[in-house]
């Protein structure tokens, strides 16, 4: 293990990831929010807790550049399908954690992924000239680590 503060070429890098939503074209997400996997618990009469054996559904936020037209249209169509109760609303996805050289360190499978909210930033004519990001909230039923 490298000393603290030194570069480990085998480590996953926070800025290197790829989220693939099965059934959508490749989307270059600029940010993927944290993913939490939580077991549901039951409060017992003796004031202790026991896990129920079920995993709580969760949600995460992803950012993408608004000018990515094809990708934004794909996300919008997926969102619209969820509004209409379509059969393709929930999709599987894989989040790849990558090394600096782009090779996969770990992979996380997300089951039952679906968009539940879209948010554009507040706009200010005198503000920051950076590109506009669109934030999507995605819910998931469960997550599992995949062998790599």
Mind listing the pLDDT tens digit for each residue in 41-95? 888 899 888 888 888 999 999 999 988 899 999 999 999 998 877 667 899 999 9
- Residue with more model confidence, 95 or 100: 95
For residue 1, tell me if it sits in a domain: no
For residue 105, tell me if it sits in a domain: yes
Q: Which domain holds residue 114?
A: 17-122+129-146
Tell me how many degrees the CA angle 106-24-10 measures, rounded to the nearest 5.
Answer: 15
Tell me how many domains the chain contains.
1
- What's the predicted TM-score (pTM) here? 0.84
**What CATH number does residue 79 fall under?**
2.30.110.20
């Amino acid at each position: 293990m490298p000393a603290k503060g030194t570069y480990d070429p085998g480590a996953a890098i926070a800025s290197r990831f790829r989220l693939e939503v099965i059934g959508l074209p490749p989307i270059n997400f600029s940010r993927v929010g944290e993913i939490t996997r939580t077991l549901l618990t039951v409060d017992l009469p003796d004031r202790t807790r026991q896990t129920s054996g079920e995993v709580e559904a969760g949600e995460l936020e992803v950012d993408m550049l608004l000018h990515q037209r094809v990708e934004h249209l794909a996300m919008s169509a997926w969102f619209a399908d969820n509004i209409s109760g379509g059969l393709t609303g929930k999709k599987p996805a894989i989040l790849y954690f990558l090394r600096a050289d782009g090779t996969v360190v770990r992979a996380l499978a997300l089951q039952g992924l679906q968009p539940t909210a879209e948010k554009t930033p507040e706009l200010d004519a005198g503000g920051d000239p950076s590109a506009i990001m669109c934030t999507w909230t995605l819910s998931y039923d469960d997550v599992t680590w995949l062998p790599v």
